[in-house]
Structure 1
Amino acid sequence: MERQQRSMVCQSTPAVAAAAAAPTAPAEAPTLPFRVGHGFDLHRLEPGYPLIIGGVNIPHTKGCEAHSDGDVLLHTITDAILGALSLPDIGQIFPDNDPKWKGCSSDVFVREAVRLMRERGYTVGNLDATIIAQKPKLSPHKENIRNNLCALLEAHPSVVNVKAKTHEKVDSLGEERSIACHAVIMLIRT
């Protein structure tokens, strides 16, 4: 008997189906105390291009082939902020087929993401970013990169973390044919 009752409860009636299909007015967006976003980017490394990471020009024999300056870290952070705000991604807001972004410095993208973040009443709670590149070694540049990120994000150094990892000579990253980055950001309501 109990099984039969459960079966009846699980069956849809025409009224339930109609109610489920009926359009409902969208609820007002909640004001959340914090939001979390993840960003990822990857670029091919080619000779003849500068290698710019976090707004810092890194001496190297190869750089990122890209429509803009190819700053893998700033692209990742931009996407993380946009994701935390549930906005379109960097490619939709700054399309690579638009000539006005050709060769553009990626700090423009971060500044716009920060403007949108502030406009919605948020500030950076913390950022954790990991750059993945076999070469060059990024340790000598991490402090300059972090300082530049703090300025761009209007954030205290205690909430901005930048790590660099190799890819143990595996795939395009480990073979020095590409560079990638992941970032997680938490935004806090101001």
Structure 2
Amino acid sequence: MGYDVHQLVEGRDLWLGGIKIEHSKGLLGHSDADVLIHAICDALLGAANLRDIGYHFPDTSDKTLNMDSKIILKKTMELLADKGYVLGNIDATVCAEHPKLNPHIPAMKTCLAQVIGCDEDQISIKATTTEKLGFTGREEGISAYAVALIAKK
């Protein structure tokens, strides 16, 4: 299981699931702050007992500064393959009040499947709000949860 959260701020692009989404705010982070990809990477790394995303891609490194999260996901898949694992499936949920994400889910699935090297049917992405409750409801940030199933080759 993976979880990530990033603060929404002005002056940043909003990247979710590897695609740029038009919005008045973007996510603040050391990399491009794609919470969906970060949650997926943590789920994959955890399932393979490979620690977490911060261990492999620290937010204190110049190498990861402004890094495209698709690169992080690609390298995560390489770490899994090196340990003899293949992807079964991913189930993820993004929590955001705005923008509305459902129209973007097909493009996210296509992008992620291409990066991972899997079939789009192996990736489930859902979007929800928090009914205006908490930091997500106040539109201060976006969070994402992911669960990944992997298997030995």
Q: What TM-score range do you get, normalising by the shorter chain?
A: over 0.9
1:136 maps onto 2:99 in alignment = yes
Distance in 2, Cα, partners of 1:55 & 1:156 = 16
* Structure with the larger RCO, 1 or 2 (CA within 8 Å, 6+ apart): 2
Q: Percent identity?
A: 39
1:99 maps onto 2:59 in alignment = no
1:66 maps onto 2:29 in alignment = yes
Listed as ranges, the gaps of 5+ residues in structure 2 are none
Instruction: Report the secondary structure of 1:185's partner residue.
Output: strand
Instruction: Report the secondary structure of 1:130's partner residue.
Output: strand
Alpha-carbon distance, 1:85 to partner: 0.8
2:69 maps to amino acid: S
Higher CA-based Rg: 1
Distance in 2, Cα, partners of 1:87 & 1:138 = 30
Q: 1:173: which partner in 2?
A: 136
2:120 maps to amino acid: P
1:81 maps onto 2:41 in alignment = no
Q: Deviations over 1:62-95 (max 9, x none)?
A: 1000000000011111111110111121111111
Q: Is the 8 A contact 2:48 2:85 kept in 1?
A: no
Instruction: Report the secondary structure of 2:23's partner residue.
Output: coil
Alpha-carbon distance, 1:120 to partner: 1.7
Q: Is the 8 A contact 2:45 2:52 kept in 1?
A: yes
Q: Deviations over 1:144-183 (max 9, x none)?
A: 0000111111111121100000110001101111000000
Aligned residue pairs total 153
Q: 2:71: which partner in 1?
A: 108
Distance in 1, Cα, partners of 2:66 & 2:120 = 29
2:7 maps to amino acid: R
Alpha-carbon distance, 1:40 to partner: 0.3
1:56 maps to amino acid: I
Q: Tell me which of 74, 82, 86 is aligned to 1:123.
A: 86
User: Structure 2-normalised TM-score?
Assistant: 0.97
Q: 2:121: which partner in 1?
A: 158
Instruction: Report the secondary structure of 2:55's partner residue.
Output: helix
Listed as ranges, the gaps of 5+ residues in structure 1 are 1-37
Q: Which runs of 4+ in 1 moved over 6 A?
A: none
